[in-house]
Structure 1
Amino acid sequence: MNKRWTVRDNADQDVVKKLAVELNIDPVLSTLLVHRGIGTFEEARYFFRPDQRHLHDPFLMKDMEKAIMRIEDAIAAGEKILVYGDYDVDGTTAVATVYGFFKGWYPKLEYYIPDRYKEGYGISTQGIDYAADNGFTLIIALDCGIKSVDKIEYANSRGVDFIICDHHLPGAELPAAVAVLDPKRNDCEYPYKELSGCGIGFKLIQAYAEKHDIPFEEVARFLDLVAISISCDIVHITGENRVLAHFGLQKINTDPCIGVKTLMQVAGRTGSFTISDVVFLLGPRINAAGRIDDAKHAVELLIACDEDIAKEKGLMINTRNAERKGHDLDITGEALNMIDNDEVLINRKSTVVFNENWHKGVIGIVASRLTEKYYRPTIVLTRSNGHVAGSARSVLGYDLYEALCECKDLLIQFGGHKYAAGLTMEPENVEAFKARFEEVVSATISPEQLIQQIQIDAELRLSQIEPKFFRILNQFAPFGPENMSPVFISKNVYVSGNVGLVGAAHIKMNLMQEGSAAFDCIAFNHGEYLPQLKSGVPFDICYSIEENVWRERRTIQLNIKGIRI
């Protein structure tokens, strides 16, 4: 697939030079800081030295005081409290965090995860009925609820109060809950808007701890779960999230809770975990519980206090993850064949595929894979409880949620973000929806948005990559949305020494540039370039810089994202 190389050029050079001098760093590094909105020595110190004191006062969040007062009243009156959360990584880590914290102080507490297939996403009537029928008078809802106006009205009619802790965009009307914690509320002045659902839950327990003089250490022990939610829910790793992710990763790598430690073991990965490791090794296993079986198993693992129970749950979840991979491969193969053998689908600017027999638990993963392959807004649909359920993914810069808004008359419900969403419709609307969605996308997407982009942060000479540069570059971590691992371009490099295939499609080689040492390089899925990579023939590369560890030997490696002969 052809990719656009786009070099960022929006850095104020006066600020770049000033920062380089003040921080005694390479101007390329100060350029990276300016790209991240950092223009002063003080801002750079805040960025490079995350501190728990940088966390905001939780009571700055609208309705936090109301939420804490309602919890206090419930505890004082001996009411039963139900901690309710979504079935994905963000929801299950949020439930484990809030339930795990309050269970240490109050016994009349349970948790509830809706069944993906019987109840669907968010707050369900069944969940409310369960609470009312079993004497629960307060539900703390996590990672869901901000648009559940009718469900909260129903809960109120049954004598069940709600505290909503959500991070999704509100609708025109807020639910009539006792408290609605969501920084994205128009009337909420909380300084940071991009917390995960688990992050909102963390602020709730932080507020309760502050109000009751509980040591912060009792709250901080859940930071490994918060870091997992931040990593896997693809929220911005900036501001407060970056602080939470920094200390959460520290906890994962030094003192994880029993459940997270077990997950790391069953994943078979040793060594220090990065955000990327969490996304690809821990997240899919937590998600697999709800995709294939019951997400309650994930919560049971994450709150486990006994190593034997944790091991049992961890092995079971690992097995579910293997099943999930099987479904994923099968359905992806079927979907690819469906598209490749249909001239109409091939030439569209969107992809919408439907098979009533596909497993609902993996259609989001399949949508992501199809988006990678064809690089256009993609929706994968299957049958679920008499309706058709779908999972949608978008491409850089294209607002999928807005496109779905243009199709809302054909949908029962939908929700999500700019780049990912879920939806439900009646079976008879599938063909009309395919046509409408294609019509909307065709009218609103630009030609450039349909070509995958490699965004390059700066041009770099290979001779600039020396130990101090690499050491400071590592301090930009943890990497993630809005703070991605920097990508550099180096021109007129050439093969020096070894070059060859690793596996079927990856190139491993040594590269030099005039005046530089040789660097080890790996170029995943670039095997077609091998015949052109001859000794002494110049070409350009874009790449990120990483540390490669092999048999306890650590070297700097260039991870090549693109080659231009």
Structure 2
Amino acid sequence: MRWTLKPNPRLDDIQKLSQELQVDPLVAQLLLQRGVTNYEEAKKFFRPQLNDLHDPFLMKDMDKAVHRIEKALDQGENILIYGDYDVDGTTSVALLSSFLLENHPQVATYIPDRYTEGYGVSLQGIDFAADNDFSLIIALDCGVKAVEQVAYAKELGIDFIICDHHRPGPNLPEAVAVLDPKREDCKYLYKELCGCGVGFKLIQALSKNQGKTIEDLTPYLDLVATAIGADIVPITGENRVLAYFGLEVINSDPRTGFKAIIEQIKKRTLTITDVVFIIAPRINAAGRMKHGDHAVQLLVEKDLASARQWAQEIEQFNTDRRQLDKEITEKALLQIKENGEEERFTSVVYDKNWHKGVIGIVASRLTETYYRPTLVFTKSGDKLAASARSVKGFDVYQALEGCSDCLEQFGGHKYAAGLTLLEEQYETFKSQFEKVVSETIDPRLLEPEQLIDAQVELSQITPKLYRILKQFAPFGPGNMTPVFMANDVQDTGFGKGVGEDEKHLKLSISQRRSSPKMAIGFNLGDQIDKIKNKKPFDIAFSVDENEWNGNISLQLKLRDIR
């Protein structure tokens, strides 16, 4: 890893904020790095309030969306809630459908099949709506590029409302309303909402017209927090408020479906990291292995016994998904090695038998190994489909645009995308993608970067500091867990490999005769030679707690050693 120390704020600013808040200068430094410059901003950061959320009617087309939905409710129309099959899509569908069903029984949900329909609004879904007399489709976490599909629905007499957060194309669909803060003509104050976040703004607007308060919508925030975590959107501004209160709901009074999942994992208090790595993969597994509708059914279920059955089924999907992920990753790594492609700028692999539901996860695994832009292809009907993943700082979506003459279609974000192409174009695309990336990527981006918030002395790491750091949560993009570095530390002689194959490193660290601190380095077991014989070394670490036999103690969580 290359370590990058974040720029230090001005000393005057650190001292001023330290005095204003009556906190350690180190805490003031960390706050300034997160854009917190005075008492009022610090109060909002440490004590988020639901009243800090923006007026939903500031979003372009919100008034049109609300008017059309209210008309549908008044006239007893059939409404179809349509969403993508991943966590953001399924939580969005659960959120809006359960909200509307409180007062309107003619609401149904539709999740496209990942394999027969693919991502986004499908013609099959619109035909389903037409065949079942739905006059209004509300699409969540997709639809902003569905120009042809919305036009087709219009021909059939079906109106569309789109709630999306992806970048729009050159032309917007001719829907009744297109809610998307990334629209260039949308003046909404916060641009980084996830799909479920846009759905929440819609129910906020609807409930405002019904005379309800924001507190009445709190029970829906467990869904929003899960989507925020899973979709890796910045946990800043409005997202921070939604995630903060959503986590409170998950830990105090979650919906029945979440209760059933949490029972299985037997964990007391969940952080946003737990949501990302424990809850989200289970919800995602339904769409990957069977059908996303299973996830929606779990999330809207009110009977605990039924929810437990859904959760048990989804747990099995997740187990199957993990096994497939492991097998395909091993085969993909072997393919790269056998093809002599370890020194390329990209990883592009293909096997017609790989399961389409896990190729995105496999692409992430390959990126962890080779740390370069990666695509994993499989056969999908008469075409090839791929998931793309990138490395920090490199826009893979833009790189795919440079290869668009080889592609049938593609879409996504800076760091993750999906695409399809004809089989005969595969080798041409593979060469072209390598060429585009090799000519445009900064070579430094091919080495993982560890950002460091501050250089410290180990004596500064105290229980009091940790109590304050815990209040920086929820962590995520834009507000990552603080990472520190300390130079010239030594192991006191306790250091050893632990865990299966001794792949983790456990040690006791001191610095310039300071009292030792326990440290754990997950997956750093191969670094043990660097710490032997009391040789000095540098560490990058975050601060954590270790719970053992009911005792809780401070420990350093090592990110890297040099």
Choose the corresponding residue for 2:512, options 499, 507, 514.
Answer: 514
Confirm or deny: 8 A CA contact 2:50 2:214 kept in the other structure: no
- Superposed, 1:35-114 pairs within 5 Å as 35-114=33-112
Counterpart position of 2:408: 412
Contact residue 398 and residue 418 of structure 1 kept, 8 A: yes
Does 2:382 correspond to 1:382? no
Identify which of 480, 492, 495 aligns with 1:496: 492
Aligned with residue 321 of structure 1, among 314, 318, 322: 318
* 1:102-141 alignment runs, 5 A limit: 102-141=100-139
Match of 2:143 in 1: 145
Aligned partners of 1:95 and 1:224: how far apart in 2?
13
> Which residue of 2 is the match for residue 542 of structure 1?
540
CA deviation vs aligned residue, 1:223-271 (integer Å, no higher than 9, x gap): 00100000000000000000000000111111110001111122x2312
Q: Kindly provide the CA deviation profile for residues 478-518 of structure 1, in whole angstroms up to 9, marking residues without a partner as x.
A: 00111110110001111125211112211111111125322
Report the alpha carbon displacement of residue 10 of structure 1 after superposing the two structures with TM: 4.6
For residue 180 of structure 1, give the secondary structure of its aligned residue in structure 2: strand
> Which of 515, 520, 525 lines up with 1:527 in the alignment?
525
Could you tell me how far apart the structure 1 residues matched to 2:472 and 2:180 are? 28
User: Which residue does the alignment assign to 1:15?
Assistant: 13
Matched, 1:485 2:490: no
Which structure 1 segments of 5+ residues have no match?
A: none
Partner of 1:423: 419
Q: How much does 1:35 deviate?
A: 1.3
Q: Which amino acid aligns with 2:208?
A: E
The residue number in structure 2 matching 1:339 is 336
| Deviation of the 1:44 alpha carbon | 1.3
* Structure 2 counterpart of 1:368: 364
Task: Work out whether residues 272 and 475 of structure 2, in 8 Å CA contact, stay in contact via their aligned partners in 1.
Answer: yes
CA displacement 1:381-423 (0-9 Å, x = unmatched): 0001211110000001000110011111211111111000111
CA distance in 2, matches of 1:212, 1:529: 60
Query: 1:499-541 deviations in whole A, cap 9, x for unaligned?
Result: 1111221111111112532211101122222133235322110
Q: SS state of the match for residue 288, structure 1? A: helix
1:463–1:515 CA contact under 8 A, matched in 2: no
Q: CA deviation at 1:347?
A: 1.9
Q: In the alignment, is the contact (CA less than 8 A) between 2:504 and 2:522 conserved in 1?
A: yes
In structure 2, C-alpha distance between the alignment counterparts of 1:537 and 1:450, rounded to whole Å? 30
* Residue 133 of structure 1: how far off its partner (Å): 1.2
Question: What residue number does 2:271 align with?
Answer: 274
- Measured in 1, the distance between the counterparts of 2:298 and 2:306 equals 8
Q: Structure 1 residues 392-401 or 20-29, which shifts more?
A: 20-29
1:262 aligned partner: 260
CA offset at residue 215 of structure 1? 4.0
Measure the CA separation in 2 of the matches of 1:102 and 1:234. 27
Q: Determine the C-alpha separation between the residues in 2 that align with 1:336 and 1:277.
A: 28
8 Å Cα contact 1:7-1:456 kept in structure 2: yes
**1:306 is the counterpart of 2:333:** no
| 3-state SS, counterpart of residue 64 of structure 2 | helix
Match of 2:444 in 1: 448
CA distance in 1, matches of 2:136, 2:219: 25
Residues of 1 paired with 2:121 and 2:369: CA distance?
Answer: 34
Kindly state the Cα deviation for residue 86 of structure 1 after the two structures are TM-superposed. Answer: 0.2
What secondary structure, in the 3-state scheme, does the structure 2 residue paired with 1:244 have? helix
1:353 has 2:349 as partner: yes
- Which residue of structure 1 lines up, in the alignment, with residue 282 of structure 2? 285
For the 8 Å contact 1:259–1:304, the answer to whether it is kept is yes
Distance of 1:140 and 1:477 partners within structure 2: 33
Q: Is the 8 A contact 1:87 1:116 kept in 2?
A: yes
Q: Are the equivalent residues in 1 in contact too, given 2:463–2:554 (CA < 8 A)?
A: no
Moved more, 214-223 or 239-248: 214-223
> For residue 218 of structure 2, what is the amino acid of its counterpart?
A
Is the 2:349–2:376 Cα contact (8 Å) retained in structure 1?
yes
Distance 1:560 1:269 in 2: 26
Q: Note if contact 1:493-1:512 (Cα within 8 Å) is conserved in structure 2.
A: yes
Report deviation, 1:467: 2.3
- Distance in 2 (CA, whole Å) between partners of 1:531 and 1:538 is 12
Paired position in structure 2 for 1:395: 391
Residue 218 (structure 1) shift: 3.5
CA contact (8 A) 2:458 2:486 kept: yes
Deviates more, 1:351-360 or 1:16-25: 16-25
| Alpha-carbon separation, structure 1, partners of 2:153 and 2:242 | 33
Secondary structure of 1:473's match? helix
Q: Give the alignment's TM-score, normalised by structure 1.
A: 0.98
Seq. identity, %: 54
CA contact (8 A) 1:101 1:219 kept: no
Superposed CA offset, 1:10-58 (max 9, x none)? 5233212211111122222211111111212211111111111111111
Distance in 2 between residues matched to 1:380 and 1:11, nearest whole Å: 42
Question: Residues 493 and 532 of structure 2 are in contact (CA less than 8 Å); yes or no, is this contact kept in structure 1?
Answer: no
Question: Given residue 383 of structure 1, which amino acid in structure 2 is its aligned partner?
Answer: K
In structure 1, C-alpha distance between the alignment counterparts of 2:536 and 2:343, rounded to whole Å: 36
After superposition, the CA RMSD in angstroms is 1.1
Give the one of 179, 195, 204 matched to 1:206: 204
Q: In structure 1, how many angstroms separate the alpha carbons of the residues matched to 2:381 and 2:101? A: 35
Offset at residue 310 of structure 1 (A): 0.2
Letter of the 1:57 counterpart: D
| Residues 257 and 307 in structure 2, CA contact (< 8 A), matched pair in contact too | yes
Q: In structure 1, how many angstroms separate the alpha carbons of the residues matched to 2:203 and 2:514?
A: 52
* Cα distance in structure 2, aligned partners of 1:273 and 1:186: 37
Aligned-partner SS, 1:498 = coil
- For 1:435, the equivalent position in structure 2 comes to 431
Q: What SS is found at the alignment partner of 1:221?
A: helix
Distance in 2, Cα, partners of 1:327 & 1:438: 27
The range that moved more, 179-188 or 496-505, is 496-505
Mean CA deviation greater in 128-137 or 515-524: 515-524
Aligned match of 2:239 = 241
C-alpha distance in 1, partners of 2:419/2:100?
Answer: 34
CA contact (8 A) 2:142 2:162 kept: yes
Aligned equivalents of 2:277 and 2:427: distance in 1?
Answer: 35
Q: Quote the Cα distance in structure 1 between the aligned partners of 2:337 and 2:163.
A: 43
Which amino acid in the other structure matches residue 561 of structure 1?
Answer: R
How many residues in Structure 1 have an aligned counterpart in Structure 2? 560
| TM-score relative to the length of structure 2 | 0.98
Q: C-alpha distance in 1, partners of 2:151/2:404?
A: 23
SS at match of 1:346: coil
- CA–CA distance in structure 1, aligned partners of residues 198 and 530 of structure 2: 52
Mapped to 1, the partners of 2:465 and 2:530 lie a distance apart of 31
